[in-house]
Amino acid sequence: MSHELKRVMGLPAGIATAVGLVVASSTLVLQGQGFGIAGPGFLIAMVIAMLINLFAMFSFAELSGIVPRAGSINHYTQAALGPFMAIVAVLASYFIVNIFAGSAEASVPGIIFHDIFWDGMPPRLFSTVIVLLLVAANLRGIVWFSTIQLITAGAMILSLALAGIIGLLGLGSGTPVEGAFASFNPLGWSVFSLVALGFWLFVGAEFVTPLAEEIKKPRVYIPLSMFLGLLIILIAGGLYGLASIKYIPGEDLAGSMTPQVDAGAALLGRTGQIWMSIASIFATITTINTLLAALPRMFYGMAQKGQLPSVLSRVNRQAVPSWATYMVALMILVPLLIGVATTERFLTFILAATFTWVCGYIIVHVDLLVLRYKHPEIRGGFRTPLYPIPQVLSLAGLVWMLFKIAPPDSGLGRDIYTIAFIFLGISIAYAALWVLLKEKKGLFQTTPVKELVEDFAEEEAAPSGVPATEPVS
């Protein structure tokens, strides 16, 4: 099919996309464990991690205005650092990472449904059915994706915020833990070692940028979606985290694989347990839904530039990169079905993914610094306030996190670095071979910005193929 992507998404759908990947079941688990380890002081790590991510979103927002294409980080990096780094950035930060992090995320609903609702349901079967239903929905078009995202992300965020308020106001049926807030920061300076764990609670807001060719007013709505999404996540997560430690001892939260569900039960008994179980399943749905929408569009953009097999650039009648969607589905389902993403290694895989995702954010900052230096005349829309101070501060924080990736006294450091460097090694090998042998280009031969954004102004003014159906806002 030769159909093009269609510009139908509004700001609410953009915010739901930015929130959707970030507030996943995995983030709810890590959030509960973080508050269990550090008490209320985990808010310090959360705020620092949010600021590092916010400054990274400044770079994403500015770059998405300069190069507003579906390829996202790949296109930015082609213009700044060349095809080799562009492919590495996508593969290390999004492709290989989500084989494990995505499948680990997909495994959670099955576990929750089995443990809370019906122990006769095989966990992998339940999770697989959810993934397949989301694949079918995404293949029907961006409007289906947006509708699912608005419903599930909205319900999930409202649930976290409302349950948090109920707990903090003492309106629940549970009994508060004595002395829960006796010390705001029992870890002292060691709380800063949890910033890497807090980073995962905000990572992924940039997944709205691959939708640049399908969101209305992308130079305005993309930055707003990311910034508002991060703020919403901080408020809702902070409220629920504080309520959790008010009703559950820290050591119990820190050692639980479903602390968000345990907190719901402590707040409101069986009703709270069911409520937060459903919210957790919604969290996974928003995450997998986002992966199935954003990653195929990244691969679509790369395939258009000859960096991935051309079949991934094909779109179906609903203007969806169908073959790329199938590939992402396999990325999630195969590790899930063979049991790679086990609960025992959940935290290890997530933090290894954090390591390579941090590398991707570092590349994005470098992209902006290079393009600003080489092309000071370019104006894409959003401009970083106080440039380049946010980029420098975020870079410092990101590099520091690379060396502090493991939680204190966890003993996970070696495994995390081993998996992360395997991710990076595979990405580097593929990128080098593809660029040299397939594209026959120099590894660092940059693509002019003008070539990457050709015809975009015309598309934005009068996008082709706009559907007659009512757009989702």
**Residue 439 pLDDT > 80, yes or no?**
yes
CB 130 within 8 Å of CB 286: no
Calculate the alpha carbon distances from 47 to 238, 366, 429, 446, 469 in Å.
10, 23, 36, 36, 41
Residue 5 pLDDT grade (very low, low, confident, very high; cuts 50, 70, 90) = low
Q: Smallest Cα–Cα separation from 82: which of 457, 397, 434, 418?
A: 434
| Residue 9 backbone phi and psi in degrees, to 5 | -85, 140
Give residue 13's pLDDT: 79
**pTM for the whole structure:** 0.81
Mean pLDDT score across all residues of the chain: 83
Domains within the chain, CATH numbers bracketed: 11-440 (1.20.1740.10)
Of residues 64 and 160, more confidently modeled: 160
**Residue 463 pLDDT > 80, yes or no?**
no
Question: How far is it, in rounded angstroms, from Cα 299 to Cα 308?
Answer: 7
CB 394 within 8 Å of CB 55: yes
Q: Provide the β-strand partners of residue 215.
A: 9
Share in percent of the chain as helix, strand, coil (round to 5): 75, 0, 25
Relative orientation angle of helices 42-66 and 25-38, to the nearest 10 degrees: 140
Q: Which residues in 412-453 belong to E strands, given as ranges?
A: none
Give residue 461's pLDDT: 47
Farthest CA pair distance, the chain: 67
Which residues, 6+ apart, have CB-to-CB distance to 429 below 8 Å?
Answer: none
Kind and range of the H or E run holding 8: none
Q: How far is CA 68 from the centre of its chain?
A: 19
Which residues, 6+ apart, have CB-to-CB distance to 162 below 8 Å?
Answer: none
Q: Which residues in 42-134 belong to E strands, given as ranges?
A: none
Q: Region 189-215: what's the mean pLDDT?
A: 80
> What tens digit of pLDDT does each residue of 290-309 get?
889 888 888 887 788 777 88
Question: How far is it, in rounded angstroms, from Cα 346 to Cα 472?
Answer: 35
